């Protein structure tokens, strides 16, 4: 997150860390936070969603957000290691295969208390994915074929971040290339790793509100059926196993969670 979103996040964190907001105390409403912090309500919702995912605050249905750790409930540690957690030691690595798209390394690692061994690590490209939502609460998606799983399905537009390009610029570019729609300003939601145990491939997820049709798709390789899908239909698509890719799932689940929070949060 950057700009105003980061400012809002740091302000709320400081309220909690300084004791201005104590464990169990209720946060101001979204409307009040937006006014007090001179931020949009979408920005406030993104920050609250992130802090709730971290366990710093909790959402109470129909009531609002509370600082974790009080009577309202929060994170509970159910097990602790006997000693202090330590990172793995890395003694070296050798590259087995390398090209512009994929790199395979064998890394000589030593986990705490375990004999050292060679661990396969696959390094892929940095990727950006965008969920574009219109004023009717529909999301811009593509129905296309993926030969690796040998199936058709719905995806959000996205692709590789080029060298020297920002993830936000790549997110907007990929939407336009793959759909012909130019999104409004994109806002970063989360960065995640889809296969953290063996694969290094940072995925940046963005949300854009609104888009303008500027032409036909220009990326023939990624071409597919393009549609605005009501967000309300996403749970059905999940149930029918019609969504492809972890980035698509992460972005859409974020939108569904934010939608639910809007419905339950006090105004």
The total of other beta-carbon atoms located within 10 Å of residue 252's CB is 23
**Last residue of some domain: 78, 107, 123?**
123
In total, how many domains does the chain have? 3
pLDDT greater at residue 69 or residue 57: 57
Q: For 183-215, what is each residue's pLDDT tens digit?
A: 988 999 999 999 999 999 999 999 999 999 999
In a domain, 76, yes or no: no
pLDDT of residue 162 exceeding 80, the answer is yes
- Are 134 and 244 part of one and the same domain? yes
2 touches 44 (CB < 8 A): no
- Are 153 and 225 part of one and the same domain? yes
- Are 160 and 31 part of one and the same domain? no
Positions of E strands within 161-202: 181-183, 186-192, 199-200
Domain interval for residue 229: 127-264
In a domain, 23, yes or no: yes
In a domain, 56, yes or no: yes
Chain centre distance of CA 223: 24
- Are 259 and 142 part of one and the same domain? yes
5 touches 187 (CB < 8 A): yes
Residue-level pLDDT at 163: 93
Report the range of poorest mean pLDDT among 41-55, 160-174, 223-237. Answer: 41-55
- Are 13 and 55 part of one and the same domain? yes
- Are 99 and 160 part of one and the same domain? no
- Token match 């936070």: residue? 33
Which range, 23-32, 41-50, 99-108, is most confident?
A: 99-108
pLDDT greater at residue 235 or residue 259: 235
In a domain, 48, yes or no: yes
- Are 105 and 132 part of one and the same domain? no
Interstrand relation of 103-110 and 89-98 (parallel, antiparallel or unpaired): antiparallel
* Rounded average pLDDT over 112-134: 95
183 touches 158 (CB < 8 A): no
In a domain, 84, yes or no: no
- Are 158 and 248 part of one and the same domain? yes
In a domain, 170, yes or no: yes
Report the range of poorest mean pLDDT among 148-162, 184-198, 203-217, 219-233. Answer: 219-233
CATH code assigned at 190:
3.90.79.10
- Are 32 and 105 part of one and the same domain? no
* Rounded average pLDDT over 163-184: 95
pTM for the full predicted model: 0.72
Which pLDDT band holds residue 85 (cuts at 50, 70, 90)?
confident
Which pLDDT band holds residue 2 (cuts at 50, 70, 90)?
low
In a domain, 10, yes or no: yes
In a domain, 82, yes or no: no
pLDDT of residue 75 exceeding 70, the answer is no
Q: What percent of the chain has pLDDT over 70?
A: 92
Which pLDDT band holds residue 72 (cuts at 50, 70, 90)?
very low
């Amino acid at each position: 997150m950057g700009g105003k979103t980061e400012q809002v996040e740091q302000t709320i964190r400081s309220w909690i860390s300084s004791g201005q907001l104590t464990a169990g105390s209720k946060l101001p409403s979204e409307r009040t936070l937006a006014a007090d912090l001179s931020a949009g309500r979408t920005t406030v919702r993104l920050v609250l969603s992130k802090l709730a995912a971290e366990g710093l605050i909790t959402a109470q249905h129909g009531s609002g957000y509370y600082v974790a750790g009080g009577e309202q409930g929060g994170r509970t540690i159910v097990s602790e290691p006997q000693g202090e957690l330590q990172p793995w030691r890395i003694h070296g690595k050798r590259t087995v295969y390398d090209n512009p798209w994929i790199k395979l390394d064998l890394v000589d690692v030593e986990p705490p208390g375990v004999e050292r061994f060679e661990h396969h690590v696959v390094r892929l490209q940095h990727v950006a994915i965008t969920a574009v939502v219109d004023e009717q609460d529909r999301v811009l998606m593509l129905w296309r074929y993926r030969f690796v799983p040998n199936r058709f399905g719905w995806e959000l537009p996205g692709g590789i971040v080029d060298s020297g390009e920002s993830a936000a610029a790549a997110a907007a570019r990929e939407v336009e290339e793959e759909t012909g729609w130019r999104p409004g300003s994109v806002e970063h939601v989360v960065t995640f790793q889809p296969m953290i145990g063996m694969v290094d491939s940072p995925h940046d997820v963005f949300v854009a509100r609104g888009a303008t049709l500027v032409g036909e798709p220009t990326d023939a390789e990624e071409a597919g059926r393009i549609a605005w899908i009501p967000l309300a239909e996403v749970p059905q698509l999940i149930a029918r196993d019609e969504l492809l890719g972890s980035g698509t799932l992460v972005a859409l689940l974020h939108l569904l969670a934010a939608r639910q929070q809007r419905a339950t949060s006090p105004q």
